[in-house]
Chain A
């Protein structure tokens, strides 16, 4: 009987120990989120009907939890394109296409927002380009 008690106590101790869950406690540093564009968009001019390809490598020293791509009018903040998705990796290649439908000249901005730290912290990368009718 004593052996059973010892086994039970040992097992309970193992389970209790196993219940302790370590987590990545490295401090969040949004400066370490990198967004590297593989297509030249920044400062370029596009025309109505052009397809704008956003191809960007996103990386972080810890886990990426999500990425959001937004294309908006820099002057009015009107959103022309919006998409987001969850991530569970430390690097991701974002590829999206948007067809320029603007009838007036404008400066647009591409914002890539990256969620880290279980979605509690966000890094933002912004570039601009021009559209012409």
Chain B
């Protein structure tokens, strides 16, 4: 059960490589950064993410005996963008996790700083000539997630499959991402994809590599200095299976899977202040052999642009 919980948390927590595009600064994976106006080079903000899931894992010995777990994941995150040049942007994410839940009636409580992610993105293609009807931007890049969060390694509880979710993962990750935005007039589309290559922990545990992607439509509404950007679309996540011991190739067949969400939200900008709200509902999912059910997610953010 612990591995299942870890895997889900991993997808949510590690899904932080989405980037802001240069055209309108949009991104659309699990770590959705929103549509950021480009007249401001930098920003710093505070983000809140909520996710929950239910796991009903049949016992190894008796398939009718179900191990039930509920997990509620709250992540408060400081994040920001710093533009080194017109073409290169740096992003940083510093999460704080507050996870609650129960696993077989055993309470789960995790509080602490998580793993910090740093990313760099380069503008590869750009068409923002006002004389042109179509505008587009392609950003791509990558970065790392450092094991800065508290992690006690594999404890006796872990070995016994009891809940012991920790704030940090204890492993480095390498991330690559791309973000393409195209717009015409007030409408636009954003395609965002990020792929995470995981590495092993000290104990040789390895989370599965995972893909986060999304396709969002947005529309711009302007009223004096206030800009509203209603948006909606799809999000897709896919994760390979974890390894209980990568060195010995102990593949955990009870992990990994895919999720499809319908997402809708809105962003607002007023002078140097921006805010965002995005709600995602899963409508197709198969994770951990179908034993894990992911519920709706909420992402909110407020940031200062400068």
Q: Which A residues lie at the B interface, using CB under 8 A?
A: 4, 7, 11, 15, 18-19, 21-25, 62-63, 65-66, 68, 84-90, 92, 113, 115, 118-119, 122
B254 within 8 A of A: yes
Can you name the residue of chain A whose Cβ is closest to the Cβ of B1? A86
A-B contact pairs, 10 of them (CB 8 A): A7-B140, A21-B241, A24-B248, A24-B250, A63-B245, A66-B59, A84-B59, A84-B61, A88-B252, A92-B160
B107 within 8 A of A: no
Chain A's interface: helix, strand, loop or mixed, by majority? Answer: strand
Using A85-B160, A88-B158 as known contacts, say yes or no to A63 and B248 having CB atoms under 8 A apart: yes
Q: How big is the B interface, by class?
A: 20 to 34
Kindly list chain B residues whose C-beta atoms are within 8 Å of the C-beta of A88: 2-3, 158-159, 161, 244, 250, 252
Can you name the residue of chain A whose Cβ is closest to the Cβ of B57? A86
Can you name the residue of chain B whose Cβ is closest to the Cβ of A84? B61
- State whether B124 touches A4 (Cβ < 8 A): yes
Kindly list chain A residues whose C-beta atoms are within 8 Å of the C-beta of B254: 118
Q: A90 to B249, alpha carbons, bound, how many Å? A: 13
- State whether A21 touches B240 (Cβ < 8 A): yes
Q: A59 to B129, alpha carbons, bound, how many Å? A: 68
Q: Which B residues lie at the A interface, using CB under 8 A?
A: 1-3, 59-62, 67, 124-125, 140, 158-162, 176, 195, 197, 208-209, 211, 240-241, 244-245, 248-254
Kindly list chain A residues whose C-beta atoms are within 8 Å of the C-beta of B249: 22-25
Using A11-B176, A65-B60, A115-B60 as known contacts, say yes or no to A21 and B251 having CB atoms under 8 A apart: yes
Q: A89 to B160, alpha carbons, bound, how many Å? A: 8
